[in-house]
Amino acid sequence: MALQHARLGVDVVALPSSDWRGIDPIHAQMATLGAISGGFSLIRSTRFGLSVIADPYGRIRAWHSSFEGGRTVIGEVPRHPPRTWYTTIGNAPVYLCAVFLLVVAAHAYCRRHSRAAGPHQGSSPDHRDGV
């Protein structure tokens, strides 16, 4: 979704969420990473977790954990964030890495399979008839 938001050119994304203590603060960090890659500010309001206001550079402007009691979070973020490479190239590097991994795995499989087949002539070079 970060790529879709970035390509739409949004300035600020509001992300209502619901977490649990065991995943706190990992989901907030993941959402912040999406804001960095997309180049937009993030306002993440969370029930049972970490609420975060972050700028497009990943700097946390304000935060509050719901496990610390009720509180209103106030923070400022820029409205005209920078464009990022992710907006232009998207997930192309991920797909290229996946193709590279498949090619390397196929090459390794073919090499292993050809070695397991053994010599094709049925005898080794040291085998001598009649000796």
Whether residue 38 is contained in a domain is answered as: yes
Residues 49 and 26 in one domain: yes
pLDDT score for 52:
92
DSSP 108-129: HHHHHHHHHT--SSSS-TT--T
Residues 94 and 47 in one domain: no
* Rounded Cα gap, residues 72 and 89, in angstroms: 37
Residues 7 and 61 in one domain: yes
125 — pLDDT class (breaks 50, 70, 90): low
Closest CA to 75 of 36, 49, 46, 42: 42
pLDDT score for 65:
84
Strands 50-54 and 12-14: unpaired
Enter the pTM of the model.
Answer: 0.63
pLDDT, tens digit, 9 for 90 and up, residues 42-90 = 999 888 888 899 998 889 998 888 887 767 788 888 877 677 777 878 8
Q: The domain containing residue 113 runs over which residues?
A: 90-118
Whether residue 60 is contained in a domain is answered as: yes
* Rounded Cα gap, residues 110 and 116, in angstroms: 10
Whether residue 129 is contained in a domain is answered as: no
129 — pLDDT class (breaks 50, 70, 90): low
